[in-house]
Structure 1
Amino acid sequence: MKHISFHLDFISPYAYLAFEHLPQALEGSSYSVAYRPVLLGALLKHHGQLGPAEIPAKRSWTYRHVLWLGQAHGIPIRMPATHPYNPLPHLRLALATSADGDISRQVAETVFRDVWRSGEEPGDATRLAALAASLRQQRDAGGDAVKSQLKASTDDAIARGVFGVPAFEVDGRLFWGFDGLAMLRAYLRGEAWFDGPDWAAADQRPSLLRSSNK
């Protein structure tokens, strides 16, 4: 059995779609999953990237794309009333249900669906209170322990090479994005390609891009 670490942030529609599609995409494979909330904004800042919604043309495409992907794969999805929004309350509420930084699939499902199926305002105080009441919390969502856990999980993801979500880590290999699920499935099924030169040497070549500090 392979163990997958699923790095996620509830702000990402692609993470939501990947979460919903994961059981179907990996059907027939032997695996377990650790669902690990991280702060996407911190990942992007570390790697010097803008989020898709920070580029107007890409924002328009992203929202149309995820809505199309939802209907194409039979996954209910409605855009939140505001997006991007501040995902910290949702991340902290989820982490408050766990003692070690990983959350259950049920908790991930509850939070993802609250954001991506209602079409409402994610940051509404009444909605957040109702979400909190629906979760069995072990820790104070606003406490230092939860805040430190989120930072530690995000820092650990960065150290492992995670640059965005959804990201799936297995055997030290990273698979990124909703469309990366097909590649992850092939790896879990033991495709020989992953032991060949195309995986190992794909990035072993010089680049003509100049470093930002030169």
Structure 2
Amino acid sequence: MTARHITFYLDFVSPYAWLAFEQLPQALEGLSWHASYRPVLLGALLQQHNNPGPAGIAPKRDWTYRHAAWLGHSLGCGLDLPARHPFPPLPLLRQALMCSRDGSINRFVAGTVLRHVWLGGHDALDPARLDALAGVLALQVQGEPDTALARAKDLLRANTDAAAARGVFGVPAFEVDGRLFWGLDGLPMLRACLQGDAWFDGPQWAAAASVPQGLGG
């Protein structure tokens, strides 16, 4: 069986990106697949759709943190809220993409940065911790640091623009065979698609986009 390719769009600021990263192998156990992890700037994707995100709505922010912490506990992977959140994720995104030449990072790099944010309850942007993170990833950096950083900035813009063009509106998101699946709770649907569920050959997938809008003038 040919392994199916999954593009995993993530931003390290998202707790659900951490949870989905941890759950992906279990969710797709027994299937033949491989993934490329593509960092994107979530804020730019949200802005494109005038979406304030969960942190922009106070009660939703509280619920999101409770829900994410509960999921980390219940799924057994852990999740400790960082000392401050949300935070500007650019330093982490660029650090990760210094380890790439094509916009994708490997699972080691993705997991290292996600654990830096979501385990321990520390400040993700603490300078000493960022230095330590850079040390852990040093052997993964592609080329000289200055060149790698300049390339990382370009890759992040390109990744985010390409994701937006593909219809990605949030993270985590997974693309396979031109179809997008969003969120931790989209993993069972992704599995069904990879398994060849006949539902995906029917009209329902395309029909969702043709439902008339009932609001507005």
TM-score, normalising length from structure 2? 0.94
Contact 2:49 2:169 (C-alpha < 8 Å) held by counterparts: yes
Q: CA deviation at 1:144?
A: 2.8
Q: CA deviation at 1:200?
A: 2.0
Aligned to 2:103: 101
Residue 198 (str. 1) matches residue 204 (str. 2) = yes
Residue 181 (str. 1) matches residue 187 (str. 2) = yes
Aligned to 1:111: 113
For 1:81 and 1:55, locate their aligned partners in 2 and report how far apart those are by CA, in whole Å: 19
Q: Superposition pairs for residues 1-214 of structure 1, below 5 Å?
A: 1-135=3-137, 136=139, 137-139=141-143, 140=145, 143-210=149-216
Contact 2:117 2:124 (C-alpha < 8 Å) held by counterparts: yes
Secondary structure of 2:83 counterpart: coil
Percent identity, please.
Answer: 60
C-alpha RMSD over aligned residues: 1.3
Deviations 1:86-125 (A, max 9, x none): 1101100000011111000000010000110021001100
Where does structure 2 lack aligned partners over 5 or more consecutive residues? none
Deviations 1:108-164 (A, max 9, x none): 010000110021001100000100011021153783321111001000000000000
For 2:10 and 2:159, locate their aligned partners in 1 and report how far apart those are by CA, in whole Å: 11
Secondary structure of 2:209 counterpart: coil
Count of residues in Structure 1 that have an aligned counterpart in Structure 2: 211
Secondary structure of 1:201 counterpart: helix
Contact 2:100 2:152 (C-alpha < 8 Å) held by counterparts: no
Name the amino acid aligned to 1:156. A
Name the amino acid aligned to 1:194. F
For 2:73 and 2:194, locate their aligned partners in 1 and report how far apart those are by CA, in whole Å: 27
Secondary structure of 1:36 counterpart: strand
